[in-house]
Amino acid sequence: MTVHAFEAETLDGKRQSLSEYAGKVLLIVNTASACGLTPQYEGLQRLYERFKDRGFEVLGFPCNQFAGQEPGTHEEIRQFCTLNYGVTFPMFAKVEVRGEGAHPLFRHLTGGDDELIPWNFTKFLVDREGRLVRRYDPKVTPDQLADDIEALL
């Protein structure tokens, strides 16, 4: 099974199949607006702008499971990301990434091992076929991923 087998709700409330991203390199990230790592949105946007024309997408999944750092509504999340960081990459509805309520996509990415998502801004690099290539800890900055993304493009 690949990430293309899953679907998720967008911030607009629409169901979207991740199969729409088949053939693209993906960086899937659990995000939060009130986290010490929130400025990583800026680096994620830079990566997106740098590589999007070559078949790269960043997919942001807001999560409120870590110290309540994503308390906003979907509209508040959208406004925050757009106004503060100029985010134009796809953002999805708030999800859980750990535990029994974890979104199936994140259960797939971690193989059910909750320890693989220790905090907000854990990143998963996925190849064009939808297979997980690598997981990055939250403190790994988006700029540090550029070479790995370039290698898959």
Is 140 within 8 Å of 149 (Cβ atoms)?
A: no
Is the pTM above the cut of 0.75?
A: yes
Predicted local confidence at residue 123, as pLDDT: 98
* Per-residue pLDDT tens digits for 5-59: 999 999 999 999 999 999 999 999 999 999 999 999 999 999 999 999 999 999 9
Helix (H, G, I), strand (E, B) or coil at 153: coil
Local structure of residue 94 (DSSP, 8 states): -
Query: Which residue range(s) make up the domain with 89?
Result: 3-152
**Domain tally for the chain?**
1
Q: How far apart are CA 84 and CA 102, in angstroms?
A: 28
* Per-residue pLDDT tens digits for 117-136: 999 999 999 999 999 999 99
Place of tokens 């991740």: 18
Active site residues: 35
Is 30 within 8 Å of 119 (Cβ atoms)?
A: no
Place of tokens 């999800």: 95
CATH number at residue 71: 3.40.30.10
Is 122 within 8 Å of 131 (Cβ atoms)?
A: no
Residue 30, phi then psi, degrees to nearest 5: -90, 125
Amino acid identity of residue 78, one-letter, is R
